[in-house]
Amino acid sequence: MNFSVVFSNGTNSFNKGFYLTAFRNLENKNYLILALAIIYIITLLGNLVLLAVVLMNSSLQNPRYLAVCNLAIVDISVNSVIIPQMVPVFAFNQNYVSCGACFSQMFFMHFFGDMESFSLAFLAYDRLIAICWPLRYSTINTNLRMLLIIAGIWSLVVLLEIFPVIFAARLPYCSSREVQSCCCEHSPVYKLACTDTSFNRQLGTAKTLTALLGPLTFIIFTYAIVVVAVTRIASISQRWKAFHTCLTHLLLVLLYYMPVMLAYVLGNLRLIQNFDLYTAVLTVSVTIPPMLNPIIYSLKTDELRDKIVKLLGKPKVAQQIIKNEANG
């Protein structure tokens, strides 16, 4: 999606570009770039292995793993939008970004970032149906219905993201072109406009609250229902099984929301005075969850873990060990 043609404000200001100025005074920034490169490689490997395992095993091609695959695609996309463009910018000082590329990146970065929270809410919905209506799960959550819900979520997030980016792209930028960020985020860019940006600020705040607190509220609501349903289960073993079913998802939720909230608290309370250091902390906090999500889900889900081990050829090794122990 290129905003240079569709959303030009009709002035020559759009034909100029922006300069990303983060990490200018950050010591050892190359170590940060190296860390982000490692995060990106692990993100690709983990999520691609997860997707491959689901595609290669028909037993995993069910509604639950459609939700998991949706999250894996979003995880890959989040870090693919953020990390690769940072390498030439900060490792080789190629920090110029054209207006079209900047606003395109702004859209996709916020789109996939917000898709992360909606995808977690989607997983919460799936767990709600599985625990509260286990006998009806296969009729309520069919593959077709889950695909329709996924399409609806993606469409909703497009609508949430498109308008803040459109209005930011149509602002006149006739003064500074230095974006105090490591990428073209909405707030650092529109603040450079030489006109009143109060509407853009209010629109951005409303969008952020909707995209973060909306899914989080839904997740809390679903787990309140799940807790009530679990307390009514007489068998302790069944209660533990239900809790274990939700544990993986709860870890993903905490992994996504806690670092982001902590980073924003540190920024608002001025606990980190160095702007470059704060930007580095925020960048890492956003890129780590997509890396860890497939690892946590694979380790905590027995069925998926067994399929991955089988794919990697570990059963042969395990069988040989067992055979050696039996002979010994």
For the stretch 47-65, pLDDT in tens is 999 999 999 888 888 998 9
Q: Any idea how long the chain is?
A: 328
CA distances 19 to 3, 22, 96, 116, 192, Å, are 17, 9, 5, 28, 12
- Residue 11 three-state SS: coil
Distance between CA 180 and CA 189 in Å, rounded? 8
pLDDT of residue 282: 83
pLDDT of residue 277: 79
For residue 141, the one-letter residue type is: N
Beta-bridge partners for 19: 96, 178
pLDDT of residue 303: 78
| Residue-by-residue DSSP string for 196-262 | --HHHHHHHHHHHHHHHHHHHHHHHHHHHHHHHHHHT---HHHHHHHHHHHHHHHHHHHHHHHHHHH
Residues of the chain with pLDDT under 70: 1-15, 234, 267-273, 314-328
Tokens describing residue 208? 């952020």
pLDDT of residue 283: 86
State the CB neighbour count (10 A cutoff) for residue 306: 14
pLDDT of residue 322: 38
For residue 139, the one-letter residue type is: T
Beta-bridge partners for 17: 98
> Is residue 28 classed exposed, middle or buried when 0-12, 13-18 and 19+ CB atoms within 10 A define those classes?
exposed
pLDDT of residue 326: 44
pLDDT of residue 325: 42
55-93 core/surface letters (b: 16 or more CB in 10 A; e: else): eebeebebbbbbbbbbbbbbbbbbbbbbbebbeebbeee
pTM confidence score? 0.86
97 phi and psi angles, rounded to 5 deg: -130, 125
pLDDT of residue 200: 93
Q: List domains and CATH numbers for the chain.
A: 27-307 (1.20.1070.10)
pLDDT of residue 122: 95
